[in-house]
Amino acid sequence: MSYMEHKMIAVTAPSGAGKTTIVKNLMQVFPNMAFSVSATTRPKRPHEVDGKDYFFLSNRAFKEKVANGDFVEWEEVYPGIFYGTLKSEILRVQSMGKVVIFDIDVKGAVNLKREFRERCLTIFIKPPSIDTLRERLENRHTEDAKTIQKRIDKAAFELSYENKFDVTLINDELESALLNSKKIVKTFFNLKLPL
C-alpha cells in the first residue's frame, strides 16, 4: 500500500492561532497518530531540535530536494524561507503503522488537500480576532516586533483561505477547541470511542 492510500490529517492556522497545541493534544488522545516533521530553511530557534521540530536545511539543500522530487509539497512561505513535506517523512510515519498528522502552513495544507483529496482531512484553526492573535504572538517572546507584524500581515491573508478547508475550528477558548478537534477527528475516522 502506498502512502497515497492512507488517511491523514492536516491542521493549519495563522501563526499563534493554536494549531501546535491542538496537534499535540490530538496525538495524546489518539496514540495511533504521529507527527510529520516538515523541512524548512528558517533558522533554528534555541529550544528546537533538528529532526524533531523540523528538518533544518540550507536553501541549497532544500532546492536540491525540490529538484529531486523529494517533496510532496513545498512553498516559499516568507521571502527566502521555504517549508515543505518530504515524501520520506510520510513513509516513515506510515511504516510505523501510524496516521500522519501535519502541523502545516495554509498553502501547504491546500497543496496536501490537492494531492490527497478525500484521504486528507484539512482543519483550519481560526483565532477569535487579529488582536487576540497579536497578543498571543507577543506573549510567546520568541520574535521581535517587526517579525510579529509580518506574521500579523500574513495572518490576514491566510484567513482569506478559510473556505478552502474541510472544517474551520475557532480557537476562542482552548478547552472547547480541544474537545471540538477530537470530535472532528473521530467523525473523519468513523470512531465510536468515548471522548
Q: Are 82 and 70 in contact (CB under 8 A)?
A: no
C-alpha cell at 130: 487579529
Polymer length of the chain: 195
Per-residue pLDDT tens over the stretch 162-188? 999 999 999 989 899 999 999 999 999
Cα distances (angstroms) measured from residue 7 to each of 49, 75, 94, 120, 173: 27, 23, 10, 6, 28
Per-residue pLDDT tens over the stretch 79-90? 899 999 999 999
Q: How far apart are CA 24 and CA 103, in angstroms?
A: 9
Q: How far apart are CA 159 and CA 164, in angstroms?
A: 10
What percentage of residues in the chain have a pLDDT greater than 70? Answer: 95
Q: Are 112 and 71 in contact (CB under 8 A)?
A: no
With respect to CATH, is domain 13-185 assigned 3.40.50.300?
yes
* CA-wise closest residue to 191 among 33, 25, 37: 33
Cα distances (angstroms) measured from residue 127 to each of 69, 103, 162, 193: 34, 16, 11, 28
As a whole number, mean pLDDT of residues 117-126 equals: 95
Q: How far apart are CA 83 and CA 62, in angstroms?
A: 9
Residue given cell 489518539 in the structure block = 30
- One-letter amino acid identity for 158? E
pLDDT at site 132: 84
C-alpha cell at 34: 504521529
User: What is the value of pTM for the model shown?
Assistant: 0.86
pLDDT at site 63: 97
Q: Does the structure show a pLDDT above 60 at 107?
A: yes
